[in-house]
């Protein structure tokens, strides 16, 4: 990064692999040297008096997703607090998820209210004379992968001993304040730019949806319309058919077998490979020939023109089979096999808002987001004559190519900005970049224009 940033005049070895060299005037301290560290607890869930009408804010591991915690979703009573070993968390403390599903473990948040927490959160209450809480927040956020790495790839959780040993680079307090000011300032700009890019992606996706819906419910040319009596489609061209999917396609479920993966072999398509319009085999797991044969038994071998449909997890996601490469169906998906219709047209219908509305109606009240085969067969499809299907597909393929290109470019810009943010924070809080002079010259209002920084961010998004 330019914009007046550069290295410090002199460095020394920190003695910590995570950090490498740090500025000569900085120190390295274990978190236990300047933080009070503890975990929370959970009052007995079977005792209503510990929970009903509670007013004591009580946090769990999912709350770290908010980055800064200024409110609680759960509360315990004074009796629940007294009966458990949970403790008060002072405002300005940090919480780190010791356990949690997916990406949660190792995530950190700053608590800005007085609260309590459960045992899945570790609390670090820093001494304000040694470390600024906001500086510490940025530092721990930048070491997310290193913190998770303390327990390797296992499902084991972190513990308080891990937190106590965490090495932290400590500049002087005035320098920490400048670093915090700089990072808060530029993070405001990055987050605003990210929100703008995300909004652009959302608008492009809405335009794609509208383009698909118009084509698969109105056709390409003006034609007399007739009301369908179905809210999902409203009116359709009079010469089109509207019928249940079973009338036009067969549906073949997967075998619901768990087979071992191999380094080489035949691809297996599950939910992950069905997130775009076309089936993506590039990162599919593979199985041996014997397992492959068992998975495709009973007419379950996908063929060009079929559609793979998610009936669990990402319900309603579907992808067209446009390849002759052999593959098998994994868990949670089924095959939709058109009899005489254009498979790409059927898949466009599956991607349209009318289909999404039908699926949402079927999922209302369900304990799990899943649909069974009979429900899939009962989905309504608008079907024009085959020649008209082919023309609609050609037009949509052409019109969506430009929109998809814009989505790809903007999504890449989002990825580059997030990478830039992570790298910048890491370089600043470990002393690889000296931001002191730049911070002194920044305006107090982060919304004000800083041409050099603004230009740098635009370059980062389009690199």
**Tens digits of per-residue pLDDT, 103-150?**
889 999 999 999 999 999 999 999 999 999 999 999 999 999 999 888
pLDDT at 267: 87
Residues 6+ apart with CB under 8 A from 360: none
Are 367 and 392 found together in one domain?
A: no
CA distance 47 to 167: 40
The tally of domains found in the chain comes to 3
pLDDT at 283: 86
More confident residue, 461 or 185: 185
Name the domain boundary from 354, 383, 412. Answer: 383
CA distance 232 to 242: 11
Mean pLDDT of the chain: 89
| pLDDT of 101 above 90 | no
Name the domain boundary from 337, 354, 383. Answer: 383
CA distance 333 to 338: 16
| Tokens at 192, concatenated | 């605003």
Q: Which of 213-227, 301-315, 428-442 has the highest mean pLDDT?
A: 428-442
pLDDT at 463: 60
pLDDT at 260: 77
Among the residue ranges 82-86, 205-209, 225-229, 360-364, the one predicted with the least confidence is 360-364
Q: Which of 425, 438, 434, 441 is nearest to 26 (CA)?
A: 434
454-461: average pLDDT: 69
On whether residue 232 sits in a domain, the answer given is: no
Are 269 and 306 found together in one domain?
A: yes
CA distance 329 to 249: 18
210-220: average pLDDT: 89
pLDDT at 75: 96
On whether residue 239 sits in a domain, the answer given is: no
pLDDT digits (tens, 9 = 90+) for 259-314: 778 878 888 888 888 888 998 888 888 888 888 888 888 888 888 999 999 888 78
| pLDDT of 1 above 60 | no
Are 164 and 176 found together in one domain?
A: no
Are 97 and 142 found together in one domain?
A: yes
Name the domain boundary from 383, 408, 436. Answer: 383
Its pTM stands at 0.77
Are 60 and 2 found together in one domain?
A: no
| Tokens at 261, concatenated | 């993966």
CA distance 123 to 87: 10
Are 259 and 328 found together in one domain?
A: yes
On whether residue 236 sits in a domain, the answer given is: no
157-177: average pLDDT: 95
Are 321 and 392 found together in one domain?
A: no
On whether residue 231 sits in a domain, the answer given is: no
81-93: average pLDDT: 96
pLDDT at 183: 94
Q: Helix, strand, or coil here: 282?
A: coil
pLDDT digits (tens, 9 = 90+) for 41-82: 999 999 999 999 999 999 998 899 888 999 999 999 999 999
| pLDDT of 102 above 60 | yes
Residue 131 belongs to a domain with what CATH number? Answer: 3.90.220.20
Q: Which residue in this structure is represented by tokens 């530029």?
A: 186
CA dihedral (164, 420, 131, 433) in degrees, to 10, reads 120
The beta strand positions in 118-195, using DSSP E, are 121-126, 167-170
Are 379 and 389 found together in one domain?
A: no
On whether residue 166 sits in a domain, the answer given is: yes
pLDDT at 460: 67
Q: Helix, strand, or coil here: 133?
A: helix
On whether residue 296 sits in a domain, the answer given is: yes
DSSP-assigned letter for residue 74: E
CB 369 within 8 A of CB 317: no
Are 319 and 263 found together in one domain?
A: yes
On whether residue 107 sits in a domain, the answer given is: yes
Are 408 and 356 found together in one domain?
A: no
pLDDT digits (tens, 9 = 90+) for 234-259: 888 999 999 999 999 999 888 777 77
CB 327 within 8 A of CB 254: no
CB neighbour burial string for 148-161, b if at least 16 within 10 angstroms, e if fewer: beebeeeeebbebe
pLDDT digits (tens, 9 = 90+) for 317-356: 899 999 888 888 888 888 999 999 999 999 999 998 888 8
Are 33 and 165 found together in one domain?
A: yes
Are 263 and 336 found together in one domain?
A: yes
**What is the domain extent for residue 64?**
27-170
CA distance 156 to 348: 43
pLDDT at 364: 58
pLDDT at 366: 55
On whether residue 374 sits in a domain, the answer given is: yes
């Amino acid at each position: 990064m330019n914009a007046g940033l550069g290295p410090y005049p002199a460095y020394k070895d920190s003695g910590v692999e995570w950090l490498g060299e740090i500025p000569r005037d900085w120190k390295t301290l274990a978190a236990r040297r300047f933080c009070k560290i503890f975990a929370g607890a959970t009052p007995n869930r079977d005792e209503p008096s510990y929970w009903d009408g509670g007013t004591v804010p009580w946090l769990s591991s999912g709350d770290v997703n908010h980055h800064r915690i200024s409110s609680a979703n759960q509360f315990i009573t004074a009796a629940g607090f007294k009966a458990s070993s949970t403790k008060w968390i002072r405002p300005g403390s940090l919480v780190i998820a010791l356990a949690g599903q997916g990406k949660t473990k190792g995530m950190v948040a700053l608590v800005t209210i007085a609260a309590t927490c459960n045992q899945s959160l570790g609390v670090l209450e820093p001494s304000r004379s040694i470390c600024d809480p906001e500086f510490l927040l940025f530092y721990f956020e930048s070491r997310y992968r290193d913190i998770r790495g303390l327990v390797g790839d296992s499902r084991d959780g972190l513990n308080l001993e891990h937190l106590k040993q965490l090495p932290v680079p400590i500049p002087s307090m005035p320098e920490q304040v400048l670093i915090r000011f700089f990072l808060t300032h530029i993070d405001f700009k990055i987050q605003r730019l990210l929100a703008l890019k995300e909004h652009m992606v959302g608008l492009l996706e809405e335009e794609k949806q509208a383009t698909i819906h118009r084509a698969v419910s109105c056709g390409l040319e003006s034609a007399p319309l007739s009301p369908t009596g179905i809210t999902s489609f409203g009116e359709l061209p009079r010469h089109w058919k509207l019928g249940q999917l079973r009338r036009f396609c067969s549906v073949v479920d997967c075998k619901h077998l768990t087979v071992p993966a191999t380094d080489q072999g035949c691809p297996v398509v599950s939910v992950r490979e069905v997130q775009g319009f076309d089936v993506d085999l590039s990162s599919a797991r593979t199985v041996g020939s014997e397992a492959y044969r068992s998975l495709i038994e009973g007419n379950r071998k996908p063929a060009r023109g079929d559609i793979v449909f998610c009936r669990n997890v990402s319900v309603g996601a579907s992808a067209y089979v446009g390849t002759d490469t052999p593959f098998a169906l994994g868990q949670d998906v089924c095959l939709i096999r058109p009899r005489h219709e254009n498979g790409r047209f059927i898949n466009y219908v599956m991607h349209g808002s009318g289909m999404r509305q039908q699926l949402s109606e079927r999922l209302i009240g369900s304990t799990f987001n899943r649909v069974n085969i009979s429900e899939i067969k009962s989905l309504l499809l608008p079907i024009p004559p085959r020649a008209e299907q082919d023309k609609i597909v050609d037009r949509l393929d052409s019109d969506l190519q430009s929109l998809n290109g814009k989505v790809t470019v903007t999504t890449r810009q989002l990825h580059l900005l997030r990478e830039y943010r992570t790298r910048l924070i890491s370089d600043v809080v470990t002393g690889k970049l000296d931001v002191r002079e730049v911070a002194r010259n920044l305006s107090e209002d982060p919304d004000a224009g800083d041409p050099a920084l603004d230009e740098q961010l635009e370059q980062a998004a389009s690199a």
